[in-house]
Amino acid sequence: MLKVIEPQYHNKDKPTIDSFLGLLKIYQKFYLSPETQDKATFLIAEDDKRGIYGGAVVYSQNISSSLKLAANDTDEACLGKMFSAFQPKGQEYWTARILCLGELDTSLPILETASLYENFYKDLYICFTNFGEKEEIEYLPFTLQSTEACFHNTFGLLPYKEWPYLIEVKLSDNSDGFFHGILSLKGNKFRLRKQGRISKGITPFPQTMTVLKGGLS
């Protein structure tokens, strides 16, 4: 099971947090502001053999002031609007950044690597649902790096796509090298923000959403 580090325990586990954030910077060029980091929850995969080999940071973001996509929006702004659209209430939402280095460890036997990778995503899903229950949230957006094509083409292993109730969020050119999605943590159908904030239906983002599991209401 993953180690859960909530905000009140950051000081105690600071070396672990710093190591994980360092890996995110190296492999994904991902940074958190100190203010955002202070409120974040960390989910860390670590063992004696590999040290820290993966994890996730769950952090809060503000709902986008406008949910209408514009031609000059950055990738980050587009994702913020699409993630915001599936938050039925509130002015903030939680999102997760995921890192797993298990598939990059060429010193391990292939079957051990596949098992490590698959178990990581099973444990991560459990942690996400526990977090959702604690924070009383329905939907959790997430981002992870598109893993090595060779690994997946050979073994067809994409365990995060086996998560139930999942929407894939695609940027128009699919050029950023990441997989973006939204989980329904309670198993409910996906709902857009109420009228007056965004219109009903999927029409604002006709080419950017793929419902992999679950449905829209």
Residue 148 within any structural domain of the chain: yes
Residue 56 within any structural domain of the chain: yes
E strands in 101-155: 139-145
For 43-76, the DSSP string reads: EEEEETTTEEEEEEEEEEEEPPS--S--TT--HH
- Per the CB < 8 A criterion, the answer to whether 54 and 102 are in contact is yes
Looking at residue 102, its pLDDT comes to 63
Looking at residue 175, its pLDDT comes to 63
- Per the CB < 8 A criterion, the answer to whether 58 and 139 are in contact is no
Which residues is 90 bridged to in the sheet?
Answer: none
Residue 159 within any structural domain of the chain: yes
Residue 60 within any structural domain of the chain: yes
Plot region of 131 (φ>0 → left; ψ -120 to 50 → alpha; else → beta): alpha
Q: Which amino acid is at 74?
A: T
Residue 182 within any structural domain of the chain: yes
pTM exceeds cut of 0.85? no
Looking at residue 201, its pLDDT comes to 34
Give the residue numbers spanning the domain of 26.
3-211
Per-residue pLDDT of the chain (217 residues; tens, 9 = 90+): 899 999 999 999 999 999 999 999 999 999 999 999 999 999 999 988 889 999 999 999 999 888 777 778 887 888 888 888 888 778 899 999 999 886 555 666 777 777 888 888 899 999 999 999 999 998 999 998 876 434 554 555 666 777 888 888 877 665 677 888 899 898 877 777 664 444 333 333 333 455 444 444 4
Residue 217 within any structural domain of the chain: no
Give how many domains the chain has, as a whole number: 1
d(CA 199, CA 23): 39
C-alpha 34: how far from its chain's center?
A: 20
The neighbour count for residue 108, using CB atoms within 10 Å, is: 16
Residue 216 within any structural domain of the chain: no
CATH of the domain at 53: 3.40.630
Residue 125 within any structural domain of the chain: yes
